[in-house]
């Protein structure tokens, strides 16, 4: 017997991908091998040269979840940046939903405030993504 309660069933959460060793998880398979190497190389350089840990997660879909919710769950799991400085960042790209989000650690907010992150998405990343240049958009 099925009982109706008037409460909608809980939506399945998008699984949080495991933290990658080289700062990039391409779950949506947006990048070819060359682009993957280029992005990983640049992310490693930023870590080694400037002490900035920037993670990138591409997802096929948000499955109805808000990108803000998904990106925070990934950021809390991966914890990019150095704990004492909280200076990491996370870029989340949901390809099918055409959504992009940059999460900035508190230690970077004076350098990259939310408004600047929004401009980076709108003016640098999104135009590249619209033209199918995923690697260039991530590196923008």
Residue 64 lies in a domain: yes
Q: Is residue 1 one of the residues assigned to a domain?
A: no
- Contact of 101 with 67, CB cutoff 8 Å: yes
Residues 105 and 90: their CA atoms lie apart, in Å, by 9
Does residue 59 contact residue 24 with C-beta atoms inside 8 Å? no
| Structure confidence at residue 11 (pLDDT) | 54
The pTM of the full predicted model, rounded to 2 decimals, is: 0.88
Helix (H) or strand (E) holding 57: strand 54-59
Taking only the tens place, the pLDDT of each residue in 50-83 is: 989 999 999 999 999 999 999 999 999 999 988 8
Return the pLDDT at 81. Answer: 87
Q: What average pLDDT does the chain have? A: 91
Q: Has residue 58 been placed in a domain?
A: yes
The two tokens of residue 87 are 């200076």
Give dist(CA 102, CA 54) in Å, integer: 10
- Classify residue 18: in a domain, yes or no: no
Give residue 91's domain range. 24-139
- What's the structural domain count of the chain? 1
Is 3 contained in some domain?
no
Q: Is residue 116 part of a domain?
A: yes
Residue 126, burial from CB neighbour count under 10 angstroms (0-12, 13-18, 19+): middle
CATH of the domain at 51: 3.10.310.50
């Amino acid at each position: 017997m099925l009982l109706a309660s008037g409460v909608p069933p809980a939506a399945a959460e998008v699984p949080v991908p495991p933290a990658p060793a080289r700062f990039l998880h391409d779950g949506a398979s947006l990048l070819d091998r060359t682009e993957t190497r280029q992005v990983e190389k640049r992310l490693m350089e930023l870590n080694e040269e400037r002490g900035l840990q920037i993670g990138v997660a591409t997802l096929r879909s948000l499955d109805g979840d808000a990108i803000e919710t998904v990106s925070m769950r990934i950021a809390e799991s991966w914890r990019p940046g150095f704990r004492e400085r909280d200076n990491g960042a996370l870029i989340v790209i949901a390809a099918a939903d055409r959504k992009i989000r940059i999460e900035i650690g508190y230690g970077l907010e004076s350098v990259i405030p939310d408004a600047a992150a929004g401009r980076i998405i709108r003016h640098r990343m999104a135009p590249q993504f619209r033209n199918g240049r995923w690697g260039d958009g991530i590196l923008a």
